[in-house]
Amino acid sequence: MTAGALALTGCAAASEADAGAVATAFEDPRGDPQDRCDLLAPATRAALEADGAAPCADVLGDVQLPGGDVTAVEVWGGDAQVRLGGDVVFLTETGTGWRVTAAACEPRGELPYDCEVDGP
């Protein structure tokens, strides 16, 4: 394996670990709702506040986030899917790190996931 391939492998592993850490922090039941809001992608936060007709922290305080331990992480370029013991979280990589684009997601077979927290 070349040095370049090794470096890319190391970056992918770090990226997966970072995405998993953000998903875990977002779904931590002891987490502060405002801190969770700071982990949302801007468009997801705006959609959540518009749909809930309330500030982000108030809306997230009412959302059941099943959380759990990370069971799998998949990264595709600037997007990631993190499977937790009780949920699936989708993220995007921004200039400030990974941010949640969807959470509290239920699989629907061949259809897209149905997520309680999601953006446009």
Sequence spans of domains, the chain:
3-118
Average pLDDT of the segment spanning 27-32 = 90
Strands (E), the chain: 70-76, 79-84, 88-94, 97-108, 111-118
For residue 92, the model assigns a pLDDT of 97
Which pTM does this prediction carry? 0.86
Percent of the chain surpassing pLDDT 90: 74
For residue 14, the model assigns a pLDDT of 62
Residue-wise pLDDT for 61-104, tens only, equals 888 898 999 999 999 989 999 999 999 999 999 999 999 999 99
Antiparallel, parallel or unpaired: β 70-76 and 79-84: antiparallel
